[in-house]
């Protein structure tokens, strides 16, 4: 028998409304944080991503793995595709990617392959992160492109709290789901 899927836990976090006057790392990470909240509200792992060029947002995305049944539908992958479409070029030179958690192996590779100038992530990931956490693809000597990195520090605590709360509430909801009846 198919087990009922528990309803997603409601997101207790509010979106942030940064001032448009100062477009710094905190501003763009606030926008990525808002994307993470959108992901949570759609029962996706709350990771959000923004890509900017010359102070303007050219891509916004959040994870859609569950809704699309696509293991590659990570926030970074979706945002990179949007940015390439917006620019009409796969080379995202002079662009910065902001993401709420350190990119996984797939997304880290995509950041390098897309020739991003810089990646700024909020929460380091010592298990699966590949831009300094578990390993650092950016340090490979034979790679023909390297990124400028800002690893952690920008909204790190807020993004960590969001991720931890999501998984804690999801575990509670799963534990409270009644077993299937025979």
CA dihedral of residues 158, 163, 165, 166 (deg, nearest 10) = 140
Half-sphere exposure in the Cβ direction for 42 (13 Å, CA) = 19
Tell me the H-state helices in the chain: 25-41, 65-68, 75-87, 105-113, 156-176
DSSP 97: E
52 catalytic? Reply is no
Catalytic member of 52, 76, 102, 158: 76
| Torsion over CA: 143, 146, 147, 148 (sign) | positive
Is there a contact between 151 and 99 (Cβ–Cβ < 8 Å)? no
Nearest alpha carbon to residue 15 among 52, 48, 58: 48
Q: Which residues are catalytic?
A: 76
């Amino acid at each position: 028998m198919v087990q009922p899927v528990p309803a997603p836990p409601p997101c207790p976090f509010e979106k942030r409304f940064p001032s448009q006057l100062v477009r710094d790392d905190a501003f763009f990470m606030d926008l990525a944080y808002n994307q993470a909240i959108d992901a949570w509200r759609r029962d996706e792992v709350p990771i959000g991503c923004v890509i900017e060029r010359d102070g303007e947002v050219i891509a916004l995305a959040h994870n859609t793995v569950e809704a699309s049944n696509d293991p590659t539908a990570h926030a970074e992958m979706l945002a990179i595709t949007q940015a390439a479409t917006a620019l009409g070029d796969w080379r995202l030179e002079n662009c910065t990617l902001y993401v709420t958690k350190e990119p996984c192996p797939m997304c880290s590779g995509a950041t390098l392959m897309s020739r991003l100038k810089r990646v700024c992530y909020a929460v380091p990931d010592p298990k699966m992160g590949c831009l300094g956490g578990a390993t650092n693809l950016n340090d490979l000597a034979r790679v023909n492109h390297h990124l400028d990195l800002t690893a952690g520090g920008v909204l790190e605590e807020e993004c960590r709290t969001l991720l931890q709360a999501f998984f804690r509430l999801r575990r509670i909801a799963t534990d409270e789901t009644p077993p299937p009846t025979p």
